[in-house]
Amino acid sequence: MDLKQRVQWLFFEGIDPIRLDFYRRCLALAFLVYMTYLFSNASEWLTDEGFHVTRETQLLHAAKPWRTMPTWAVPLFGLLLYGSGICLIVGRFARLAIWVALGCAIYVQRMDALSAFALNKLAILGFAVIALAPPSRQVKLADGRTVLLQSAWPVRILQATLMIIYFTSAVSKAFFGDWLRDPDVVWTVVQGVFRTDLSALLLRTMPKWLFSVLMYFVLAFEFLAPVLLINKRLRPLGILAGISLHVGLALMMSTVFFFSLQMITYYVLFLPATTLRQVQDWYTPERWKTSVVDTASDSQLARIRDIAFDNANSDEQKIKAIQAVFEDEADDA
């Protein structure tokens, strides 16, 4: 397989749709949690009762803000927001709900970018990728087995997004910030407006040099995140380190909880499909389960890929080899 074929296969191979399905549910949950925080002051957030940057006071390079909504429209917006989010979480009318959620996210971003912040931009990206993602298809194999597959490019884009966020964050901290010049950056930050009860306790009891250790851990992880998450052998370590980082941020910095929650949702995209299937089987009622469509594991799909691109074998030999893949998996089970 040459480089072009590898790139094409990386983005357009058929994969189990369970990763994108789980990400959709997790993203919708994280989005609703943050929107609920803003919705607690809905009249000030969405109407003219609160402060908003006007077209005249907006920065020249920024997009002009959209109009706020009248007071009577706030409950209707809430109905669209929570209705679409709940549909995405439970998996009902998801194809329609994703566009409604995307529209709500775009509106709050353009109406009040200061409140929406970067979290909402990530939600817009996630919703847009899911909305544009082709639906999963039932692929019938030569032995009569039907497998549910989906094009890999939506998952690859979202995986790349997480790695780009980490790496660019590390570059900004190291070369445009004070992280390599001042070892007390984290110790200073947790004393500010983000301070929680836990961080206050740690400031009183934990040696100052340990805050420097935490700082260098964060910097090293963000630089190495692409390697840790791409390499399958190192991926469990990368997932553990990344989730630990965001849990620590959520506990030590108050409103950063919302950012940590949304970042953790990306990690379901790196979990094995078989693991997610086991989780799905655990919470799915028996009456909703179906045995009509089988699933192909990551190892099966990798073996099928190698067989498909082996030009030394005829099509008939390839079909028999693919059948043997599933037979071998059944024997191992």
Give one DSSP letter per residue of 121-140, joined into a string: HHHHHHHHHHHHSPPPEEEE
Joined tokens for residue 94 = 């998801």
pLDDT on residue 332: 44
pLDDT of residue 297: 59
User: Looking at 74, 102, 135, which one is the last position of a domain?
Assistant: 135
Among the ranges given (139-143, 179-183, 294-298), the one the predictor scored with the smallest mean pLDDT = 294-298
pLDDT in tens, 93-115: 999 999 999 999 999 988 887 77
Instruction: Tell me which of 20-24, 76-80, 117-121 is least confident.
Output: 117-121
**Crossing angle, helix 153-175 and helix 3-12, to 10 degrees?**
100
pLDDT the model gives residue 28 = 95
- Place 64 in a pLDDT band, splitting at 50, 70 and 90: confident
Give start and end residues of each alpha helix (H) in 40-72. Answer: 42-46
Considering the domain boundaries, does residue 307 fall inside one?
Answer: no
Contact 251, 233 (CB under 8 A): no
Domain co-membership, 112 together with 198: no
Final residue in a domain of this structure, among 260, 282, 304? 282
Q: Are 122 and 199 part of one and the same domain?
A: no
Residue 45 pLDDT > 80, yes or no? yes
Query: Any idea what the Cα angle at residue 256 is, between residues 188 and 214, rounded to 5°?
Result: 45
Tokens 């997790």 correspond to 26
- How far, in Å, CA of 155 to CA of 229, rounded? 13
User: Domain limits at 228?
Assistant: 152-282
Shared-domain flag, residues 277 and 156: yes
Percent of the chain that is helix, strand, coil (3-state, to 5) = 70, 5, 25
Among residues 282, 306, 323, which one ends one of the domains? 282
Taking all residues of the chain, what is their mean pLDDT, rounded to a whole number?
83
For residue 5, being part of any structural domain is answered with no
Write down the pLDDT at residue 40: 86
Amino acid at 88: L
Note whether 149 and 17 are within 8 A (CB).
Answer: yes
Three-class DSSP category at 146 = strand
Ranking 82-91, 120-129, 131-140, 202-211 by mean pLDDT, the lowest is 131-140
Average pLDDT of the residues in 285-307: 57
Query: CA angle, corner 202, sides to 189 and 240, nearest 5?
Result: 80
The total of structural domains in the chain comes to 2
pLDDT at 330 over 50: no
Using the predicted structure, report yes or no on whether residue 9 has a pLDDT greater than 60.
yes
pLDDT at 58: 64
Is the pLDDT reported for residue 127 higher than 80?
Answer: yes
The reply to whether 264 and 185 lie within a common domain is yes
What's the pLDDT at 154? Answer: 93
Check residue 137 and give its pLDDT: 80
Q: CA–CA separation, 277 vs 158, rounded Å?
A: 20
Q: Is residue 144 part of a domain?
A: no
pTM: 0.82
